[in-house]
Amino acid sequence: MLYTLLTAIFDQILDRATAQTRLQCWTEQVKASGLHGFDTFLNTWHCWQDGILNDFEGGHNSGFIEGLNNKLKWLKRRCFGLDAPTELFRRLWLDIEGPRLWA
């Protein structure tokens, strides 16, 4: 239940002050519950509160960059050990165009 409340706070479009209030209420609920599963997050929240709240300020995030980095890492793993450029491009073409062609 507490994890869904935390997720809901981050899924909503909130201003910084509202997000801070809701996160503080959530931390009070966690502390009152006596659960220790959220201790790591609570420590992170305590140390990086300003940085976490900056996420709510403009609604900007690094999702695009993280997704691009993930795809590049996936391509590096997928093509590891291929020496011939033709085999590399054949593998990349199949990975990119293959699902569309055989769907």
Closest CA to 39 of 30, 52, 47: 30
User: For residue range 16-38, what is the model confidence (pLDDT) as tens digits?
Assistant: 999 999 999 999 999 999 999 99
Q: What is the DSSP letter of 11?
A: H
pLDDT tens track for 41-86: 999 999 999 988 888 887 667 778 888 889 888 888 877 777 788 8
Q: How many CB atoms lie within 10 A of CB 56?
A: 20
Report the pLDDT value the prediction gives residue 58, as an integer from 0 to 100: 74
Alpha-carbon distance of 58 to 13, in angstroms, equals 10
Predicted model pTM: 0.58
Rounded CA separation 67/101 (Å): 24
Rounded CA-CA distance 12/56 in Å is: 9
Alpha-carbon distance 80 to 73, whole Å?
A: 11
Query: Which pLDDT does position 44 carry in this prediction?
Result: 94
Residue-level pLDDT at 1: 87
Residue type, 64: F
